[in-house]
Structure 1
Amino acid sequence: MDQEMKPARSLSSIAFRGGAFRRETRSVPAERAVAISVGGSTHAVMMASPADIEDLGVGLVLNERIVDRFEEIDAIEIVETEAGTDCQVRLVPERAETYVARRRQMTGPVGCGLCGVESLELAGRVLPEVTAGERVSPERLVRAMDEMSAEQKLSRLTRAVHAAAFHKREGSMVVLREDVGRHNALDKVAGHLARNGVDPASGFITITSRVSVELIQKAAVMGCGLIAAISAPTELAIAEAEAAKVTLVAVLRGEEFEIFTSPDRIEGAQEPLDADETLLA
């Protein structure tokens, strides 16, 4: 397995601890577009860890009842492309005759923001660079996460949902939305801002989940320059945030957090960096 396909990678971040910034390293999980193809036709595309892909393919065709038994799978081939990994599943002739090669119609899956995408090429998109966004103090980030936590009524009731929120640099939280899917929660926030004429560049996003690439894509498309999460990001999410010039703050817990990209939007975060130093070096 080459460097890009390792399940985790050590990357640099700027940590805010004890009231001061310092440089640290963190291991972040890899994330890759994976297509599951059945009989030569793409059945689903998802973002996944680049390990145990054959298991993923077998589990999916079994769980979706494309086959009833493992023995109905004739062969599995893993094909690596620039766009991602294609797990090509070939069925035994008898079973292949009953499988109609058609694109699956999805109704908002909660586990993956890209399921139902029709090809690996569509899983990656060219994102706009986000140049807007005011600088935010560390104290404001900490307060914003506390604001979101205080308003998570459905989460306290069920312990089974994610939340996303939008905050202005000054003042209180603008909107919070909860959903079983973290992608759905952020989409709901984007919808509220659009319906109420609120410019996403005028504030920042907080989320209660890990940071996967889909969340960075959504923030960039919204034009929001800063997203802060309670959990860690994936390697691909960091790369996408770097490319889109989105400030990615993660592991925001208590009064501590880490900045992975574009630290210029965080007050005081520039001091630990040399002029030519990059967070992804």
Structure 2
Amino acid sequence: MVVDGARDAAVTEHFANGSAPRELTRPLVDEAPVAIEINGIGYAVMMATPADLDDYALGFCLSEQLIVSAGEYLSSDSFEVPPVAGMAGGWMLRVALDAPAAGPLLDRARLRLAEGSCGLCGIESLEQVLRPLRAVSARLTVEKAAIFRAVSALGDHQVLGRATRAAHAAAFCAVDGTIVMVREDVGRHNAFDKLIGALAHAGIDPATGFVVLTARCSFELVQKAVIANVPVLATISAASTMAVDQAHLHGLTLYSLAREDSLLEV
């Protein structure tokens, strides 16, 4: 099976009923270090699925508040770096931003290995973690039935997730629950960044719909939604206390434990 963001691997399947194991090939989700270089400065190394990297680059820069609009994003170039002399390989993602808009780069540039694009890159103190954010200005009435409709339909849009059972998805939905766009990644934060970048590339205003994430709702995901001016966020798993507090503080309507037949408004 050829799926973007996955690689076939030989595995052995075992059975609880004592049947003989069988050898088969199934896709595994790609996970690789992605070194992000912005305007020639090494900014981060993230563990991510190396697919939709142009969307990821733009969404990452918006979430990091290195830029405030897609117009300040110039381009990105990505390429695989093979292993050399016993050193692990990975991917290089080189991003060009409009120079006057890239002021925060010098203050926050660094190179570190992180678990995912968590939205806290370059943060060194508690004060910076809770840096002031502009409240969500968008106001959108979304019926509960629309959220149920989106959650029910999401599986049909998760190509990588269905193939590997190991990828998160971030979906942008119209107000009636129609799924407009989906991006996937081994990391939930990366999937959201890819979606934010894809929306910006397509000229779609996040304020015109809502987002569904196949993840627990942590503070960083709420932060990304607030920065992107997403009015309503629904997550498949539960929310943390900090996520709920930050959503209330910044005017984000938040739902968690979103299922096909029930959800929590928190």
| Cα displacement (A) at 1:108 | 5.4
Q: For 1:252, what is the secondary structure of its paired residue?
A: coil
**1:193 and 2:228 correspond:** no
For 1:257, the aligned partner's letter is L
For 1:128, the aligned partner's letter is R
- Relative to structure 1, the CA distance from residue 246 to residue 171 in structure 2 (aligned partners, 3 Å threshold; closer, same or farther) is closer
Match in the other structure for 1:239: 245
**1:250 and 2:250 correspond:** no
CA–CA distance in structure 1, aligned partners of residues 206 and 221 of structure 2: 14
- Relative to structure 1, the CA distance from residue 138 to residue 218 in structure 2 (aligned partners, 3 Å threshold; closer, same or farther) is same
| Cα displacement (A) at 1:171 | 6.4
User: Structure 2 regions of 5+ residues with no counterpart?
Assistant: 1-108
Runs of 4+ in 1 over 4 A off after TM superposition: none
CA RMSD of aligned residues (A): 1.9
| Cα displacement (A) at 1:121 | 2.3
For 2:143, the aligned partner's letter is S
Residue identity (%): 42
CA–CA distance in structure 2, aligned partners of residues 199 and 168 of structure 1: 11
Q: Which structure 2 residues correspond to residues 206-221 of structure 1 after superposition, within 5 A?
A: 206-221=212-227
Q: Which structure has the larger Rg over C-alpha atoms?
A: 1
CA–CA distance in structure 1, aligned partners of residues 117 and 138 of structure 2: 31
For 1:110, the aligned partner's letter is G
For 1:121, the aligned partner's letter is E
**1:227 and 2:243 correspond:** no
User: Structure 1 regions of 5+ residues with no counterpart?
Assistant: 1-102, 261-281
| Cα displacement (A) at 1:110 | 2.2
| Cα displacement (A) at 1:137 | 1.1
For 1:160, the aligned partner's letter is A
| Cα displacement (A) at 1:115 | 5.6
CA–CA distance in structure 2, aligned partners of residues 171 and 244 of structure 1: 23
| Cα displacement (A) at 1:138 | 1.1
Q: For 2:184, what is the secondary structure of its paired residue?
A: strand
Is the 1:206–1:229 Cα contact (8 Å) retained in structure 2? yes
CA–CA distance in structure 2, aligned partners of residues 189 and 173 of structure 1: 12
Is the 2:140–2:232 Cα contact (8 Å) retained in structure 1? no
Give me the TM-score of the superposition, normalised by structure 1.
0.53
| Cα displacement (A) at 1:259 | 0.4
Q: For 1:185, what is the secondary structure of its paired residue?
A: helix
Equivalent of 1:139, from 133, 140, 145? 145
Give me the TM-score of the superposition, normalised by structure 2.
0.56
Q: Which structure 2 residues correspond to residues 47-126 of structure 1 after superposition, within 5 A?
A: 105-106=111-112, 109-110=115-116, 112-114=118-120, 116-126=122-132
- Relative to structure 1, the CA distance from residue 171 to residue 206 in structure 2 (aligned partners, 3 Å threshold; closer, same or farther) is closer
CA–CA distance in structure 2, aligned partners of residues 148 and 124 of structure 1: 32
| Cα displacement (A) at 1:183 | 0.7
Aligned length: 158
